[in-house]
Amino acid sequence: MTVVSFYYLFFLAIGVLIYYAVPKKVQWIILLLLSLIFYVSAATPYTIVFLIASTIIAYTSTIYIYRHKDAEIYAKTVSIVAIVSVLINILMWFLLKGSAFWILGSILINKVIPGVPVLRALPVVSALGMGYYTAQIIGYILDVLWGNADAQKNPIKLFLFLCFFPQLTVGPVSRYNDLLVLYDYHKFSYQNICIGAQRILWGFFKKLVISDRVAIIVNSIWNDTTTYGGVWPWIAVFLYPLEIYTDFSGCMDVVLGTSELFDIHLSENFRNPFFSRNSQEFWQRWHITLGSWARDYVYYPVMKSRWMVNFGKKCKKKYGKRWGKFIPWSLSMAILWFVMGVWHGSVHHIFGVSLWFWLALVISELFEPITKKITCVLRIKTESFGWHFYQSGRTYAVYALGAVFFTSSSLQIALAHYRVLGSSLSQLNPWTLFDGTVLNLGVSWKDINLIIFGCVCLILADYLRERYDYARIWVRNQSFGFRWLIWIGIFLVVLIYGMYGPEYNSSTFIYQGF
């Protein structure tokens, strides 16, 4: 069962009816049962043992930490317990999701010492959403250690925090304090049903109407770059951000809409990322919960650590104030982005996420004073639409070029794609876009028109969200007839033009693999 299937909608409708019908004391138990049913039907059932193991580790360690953290004689023991529990969770993730790293390591060692065997991945399937719930449990343990959260004394409630079914697919990475509402009583509200259903519908539109059509074009080009050379690889590069955005944010809309049906509001994970003026702003708008998690549990602890503070003082003394701030900052950012790359679970993501986007941020920071001087000398109106459009286009291009690593299954394939892009520069012929070649990519003119129509709707919705915080607020303020015309129109487009059928696999969300 996937979150864009009829079975999911049927499951959701039954779940909502039962949830609001039962006594308030057992509502959270209904959420737990729904989560278990979803897990068994959407994942390999036995992998739930990893979720249970993480819960047990977190529960025992945080209860100990909570009881002894204020006693000085237990200060070191409490820290050791927290570190060990975090490391065990990381090790479980590493063994099941990070096999690419230790396999590569064994290959490199084997080349130096032939007697050392080359390791293989464990013949065990990782748990659904393992990257997301591992990040959540690490954050929970550290929050209890730092006094930001109280330890949950009921292990079953803690288990619900990890396995709450909407967020198991693609997140978001939630904080424990934000999900305390899971255990509260929620009254039935027609408003919650409306806004939840509307968001689910919008997610279906993004995923089934836009993303899966764009994916056909992108995959067809990269699967046969010999036939589709010249301008076509570049078309694939600049279409892929549209594909991954509508795929990931579309699934996130379904997830957030599902939670809203139960009057539970999860954290937003996207805020119009392609309106960003630079790479730093882009990552504050894209996969927001993972970024804030990495900031709070990786960047700040590293940046505020004793050795980094001392290193910064030495840099200021030797290189001056500006470089004294820049060098520790860039080093801390390198560690943060390395963790982000590892979290994505493969070696080529270390280059595509860690190295590429770290370099983009560092170069942007280095050239910021020069850029400011140029805009000042040329008297460029930096708040004008034209300048904002240029900055957003530049940011989009930086992301698109880095995202080539996401379209590749290995580092070798990613580098091959870059070589194709380089060689195709001398063969660019934009007129091939209109000679009918596009119809050989598995799409028709109807599909292309639907993609264009979808993009127009997407830009309009993102503009309204930028201005009104939520596009739904603008829609809600319209007349009854116009309001329902919009939602019925979207429903009919999804129903008629959604990419589903007997040969369609709607489970392939790009970020579900993490």
pLDDT, average across residues 165-177: 90
pLDDT, average across residues 409-431: 85
Q: How far is CA 131 from CA 137, 480, 500, in A?
A: 10, 43, 28
User: What are the tens digits of pLDDT across the range 18-73?
Assistant: 999 999 899 999 999 999 999 999 888 899 999 999 999 999 999 999 988 777 77
Q: Over 80: is that where the pLDDT of 472 sits?
A: no
For residue 202, which of 143, 145, 149, 249 has the smallest C-alpha distance? 249
pLDDT, average across residues 9-14: 93
Of 96-105, 143-152, 325-334, 480-489, the poorest mean pLDDT is in 96-105
Q: Give the chain's mean pLDDT.
A: 88
Neighbours of 207 (CB within 10 A): 25
Query: Residue 45: helix, strand or coil by DSSP?
Result: helix
Neighbours of 175 (CB within 10 A): 20
Task: Provide the residue type at 299 as one letter.
Answer: Y
pLDDT, average across residues 421-444: 85
H/E element, 112: helix 99-112
Please report the pLDDT score of residue 428 as a whole number.
81
pTM across the whole model: 0.90
pLDDT, average across residues 500-507: 48
End-to-end CA distance of the chain: give it in Å, rounded.
Answer: 18
User: What are the tens digits of pLDDT across the range 479-502?
Assistant: 888 888 988 999 999 988 887 654
Task: Provide the residue type at 388 as one letter.
Answer: H
pLDDT-based confidence at 466, cuts 50/70/90?
confident
User: What are the tens digits of pLDDT across the range 201-257?
Assistant: 999 999 999 999 999 999 999 998 888 888 999 999 999 999 999 999 999 999 999
Please report the pLDDT score of residue 400 as a whole number.
94
What six digits make up the tokens of 170? 């693609």
Distance CA 293, CA 171 (A): 12
Rounded to 10 degrees, what is the CA torsion of 290, 295, 298, 304?
A: -170
Q: Over 60: is that where the pLDDT of 514 sits?
A: no
pLDDT-based confidence at 511, cuts 50/70/90?
low
Q: Over 50: is that where the pLDDT of 504 sits?
A: no
Listed in sequence order, the residues at least 6 apart from 199 whose beta carbon sits closer than 8 Å to its beta carbon are: 253, 254, 256, 257, 260, 472
- Residue 336 near residue 299, CB atoms below 8 Å: yes
Distance CA 495, CA 488 (A): 10
Total residue length of the chain: 514
Q: How far is CA 428 from CA 55, 220, 228, 437, in A?
A: 55, 18, 11, 14
Query: What letter would DSSP give residue 228?
Result: S
Listed in sequence order, the residues at least 6 apart from 195 whose beta carbon sits closer than 8 Å to its beta carbon are: 257, 260, 472
Of 50-54, 81-85, 334-338, 409-413, the poorest mean pLDDT is in 409-413
Which is more confident, 360 or 73? 360
Which is more confident, 434 or 89? 89
